[in-house]
Amino acid sequence: MSHAYDAAIGLVRSLYDRSITTPSVLDEAHYFPNAKRFVSRWREIRDEALAANLNNMPRFHELMEAQRDISANDGRDWRLLILKAYGVAMPQNLARCPVIASLLEQTPEAVSCVLSYLAPGKHIPVHRGPFRGILRFHLMLSMPNDDSGRPACVMEIDSVPYRLADGACLLWDDTYPHEVWNRSHAPRIALLLDVLRPGMPLHLRIMSHAFMAAARLWMRLTGVTYGG
């Protein structure tokens, strides 16, 4: 990543860290009650994810060059189908996923929504998200198992490993260091939501909306496409 990007993100993190001290993994019933809507329909969401055309989806670093170090580090694909980004809906992709689209309409706090496809053998090295104004909701849709029957993909958050089976979920703060390995011979597919953190003080709520507005401006200026 560029030094300017790292410096800017470091400053944003420090401003949030002064007021927010929650742990890396959070209780979705408290921080994201609408999680249950997505979990209850995970099989339908999986069907929509499996029907998508993987070859037409961009790799993460093709959407954001600053993420090349974590997306293109090993020559294996990390492809994304963007359904919503920083509050901006992607109609062409939502039209192909009516179940997800319906759930998002009922969940205004979900400001971003992505279907994430990790290629077999893909390793995402240690990295951190940009700011604590959002929480990451992770719903597993298709998790390969290893020879012992355990989920083969490991997500390590703040040095703690997590293995999510199909239909399992996790709500976590992606500003903590995290790393992912797909140690299998099949893609790992997950639904990722960015959810506005509830209960923030006013100045952080204002800053969060300003951050997302800047991200939307960047999307318009760069003309990024989100094909699927």
Q: What average pLDDT does this structure show over 99-106?
A: 98
Domain extent for 187: 3-222
**Residues contacting residue 2 through CB under 8 Å, at least 6 positions apart:** 66
Highest averaged pLDDT of the listed ranges 9-13, 31-35, 73-77, 197-201: 31-35
Identify which has the larger pLDDT, 100 or 88: 100
Rounded CA-CA distance 86/153 in Å is: 27
Going from the C-alpha of 159 to that of each of 118, 126, 144, 165, the distances in angstroms are: 21, 10, 22, 20
Within a domain: 228? no
Q: Provide the CATH number for the domain around residue 29.
A: 2.60.120.330
The contacts found for 71-74 with CB under 8 angstroms, 24 or more apart, are 71/124, 73/123, 73/124, 73/125, 74/121, 74/122, 74/123
Highest averaged pLDDT of the listed ranges 35-49, 76-90, 194-208: 35-49
**What pLDDT is attached to residue 166?**
97
**What pLDDT is attached to residue 228?**
47
Within a domain: 51? yes
Percent over 90 (pLDDT), the chain: 60
Within a domain: 29? yes
Confidence of residue 162 (pLDDT cuts 50, 70, 90): very high
pLDDT tens per residue across span 67-86: 566 655 777 888 999 999 98
Q: What average pLDDT does this structure show over 122-127?
A: 92
Q: What average pLDDT does this structure show over 167-172?
A: 98
Within a domain: 227? no
Within a domain: 205? yes
Rounded CA-CA distance 174/10 in Å is: 14
**What pLDDT is attached to residue 1?**
47
Q: What average pLDDT is seen over the chain? A: 87
Q: What average pLDDT does this structure show over 43-67?
A: 77
Task: Work out how many domains the chain is built from and give that number.
Answer: 1
Q: Are 167 and 140 in contact (CB under 8 A)?
A: yes
Identify which has the larger pLDDT, 17 or 20: 20
